[in-house]
């Protein structure tokens, strides 16, 4: 029998989960109170499908396996995995997660896509089986990017994290189990640090949004896609690797290069960042840019697998 993913909240991220699960041959049941939710989701799946076909569909993959319901309680019935993707507001998430927990079978894992909240805070109002409410934080576009950060809370057992790990692997993902719960998990902490610094550079008139993006795309970003931060710096140390890198560049860490605290989002800074990004988009719609990004990511995942085969399971079905 097919596995069933239940998706609560079908915005950018919920729809990404839906497209991924359908491509892996799962049944999907969705709930979102917005009036146009079903139409938006079906359009989203149609646009994502060509990239998913290139990645490789499961035999039973079929967009017709998606159904919408108008009640959260009905949606969670029969689920093998439940994914919550409502807006990032703690009170709202707590309320929805406690309703899901009350209605769902107690052994079913409930993953929250939250970018920043800790699982113990999300579990607090759940009465039936709080431990199975965990953070399962994906990356946009969810249907292509393999990483999902799994974070258990105070009530979560190792066994529950293990069950979640297997479930997300069967959605062709690469689960990264985060050892300790912290706000922002791992990847968003890194992205936030870069983002704050980029905003300072724009705010101080050092660079435009376009120039900063060029620095990432043609400089650091290309290497990060293959090796991440530590391996990139290991190579920067020459034959002696990281040890020499730290000896040579370690002192610079003490220099006041980075600010890390975000600048005030003044109207002037907002205008600079928005106008700069719109200038770079040059009249192309977000949907058009999404398609270009997706084609690139499909090929990039192939390249990562070709040149870094140790990172097995990054692409397609595991």
Q: Which is nearer to ligand NAD, 14 or 130 (CB)?
A: 14
| Cβ partners under 8 Å of residue 38, min gap 6 | 30, 68
85: contact with ligand NAD by CB under 6 A: yes
113: contact with ligand NAD by CB under 6 A: yes
Q: How far is the CB of 316 from ligand NAD (least distance, A)?
A: 22
**Positions in 14-53 near ligand NAD (CB under 6 A):** 14, 31-34, 37
Q: How far is the CB of 284 from ligand NAD (least distance, A)?
A: 19
247: contact with ligand NAD by CB under 6 A: no
Per-residue binding letters, 134-153, with ligand NAD (x by CB under 6 A): ---xx-x-------------
Q: How far is the CB of 309 from ligand NAD (least distance, A)?
A: 27
8: contact with ligand NAD by CB under 6 A: yes
Residue 163 CA to residue 168 CA, distance in Å, equals: 9
Residues binding ligand NAD: what is the number (CB under 6 A)? 23
Q: Which is nearer to ligand NAD, 32 or 80 (CB)?
A: 32
114: contact with ligand NAD by CB under 6 A: yes
Q: Which is nearer to ligand NAD, 58 or 173 (CB)?
A: 173
Q: Which residue is nearest to ligand NAD (CB)?
A: 11
* Strand 27-31 relative to strand 66-68, pairing: parallel
Q: Which is nearer to ligand NAD, 8 or 314 (CB)?
A: 8
Per-residue binding letters, 266-305, with ligand NAD (x by CB under 6 A): ----------------------------------------
Which of 115, 123, 161, 170 touches ligand NAD (CB under 6 A)?
115
217: contact with ligand NAD by CB under 6 A: no
The binding site for ligand NAD (CB under 6 A) comprises 8-14, 31-34, 37, 85-88, 96, 113-115, 137-138, 140
């Amino acid at each position: 029998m097919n596995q069933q993913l239940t998706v609560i909240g079908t915005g950018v991220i919920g729809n990404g989960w839906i497209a991924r699960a359908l491509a892996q041959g799962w049944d999907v049941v969705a709930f979102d109170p917005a009036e146009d939710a079903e139409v938006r989701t079906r359009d989203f799946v149609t646009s994502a499908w060509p990239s998913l076909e290139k990645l490789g569909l499961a035999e039973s993959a079929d967009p017709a396996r998606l159904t919408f319901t108008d009640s959260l309680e009905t949606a969670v019935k029969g689920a093998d995995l439940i994914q919550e993707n409502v807006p990032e507001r703690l009170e709202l998430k707590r309320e929805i997660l406690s309703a899901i927990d009350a209605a769902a079978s107690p052994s079913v894992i409930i993953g929250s896509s939250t970018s920043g909240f800790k699982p113990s805070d999300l579990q607090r109002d759940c009465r039936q089986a709080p431990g199975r409410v965990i953070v399962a934080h994906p990356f946009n576009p969810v249907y292509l990017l393999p990483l999902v950060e799994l974070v258990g809370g105070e009530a979560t057992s190792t066994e529950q994290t293990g069950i979640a790990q297997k479930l997300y692997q069967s959605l062709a993902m690469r689960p990264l189990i985060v050892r300790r719960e912290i706000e922002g998990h791992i990847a968003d902490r890194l992205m936030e640090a870069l983002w704050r610094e980029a905003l300072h550079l724009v705010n101080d008139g050092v660079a435009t949004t376009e120039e900063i993006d060029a620095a990432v795309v043609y400089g650091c970003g290309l290497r990060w896609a293959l090796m991440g931060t530590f391996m990139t710096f290991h190579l920067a140390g020459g034959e002696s690797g990281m040890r020499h890198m730290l000896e040579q560049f370690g002192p610079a860490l003490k220099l006041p290069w980075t600010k890390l605290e975000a600048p005030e989002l003044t109207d002037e800074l907002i205008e600079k960042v928005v106008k700069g990004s719109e200038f770079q988009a040059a009249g192309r719609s977000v949907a058009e840019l999404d398609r270009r990004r997706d084609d690139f990511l499909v090929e990039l995942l192939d390249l990562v697998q070709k040149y870094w085969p140790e990172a097995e399971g990054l692409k397609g079905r595991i």
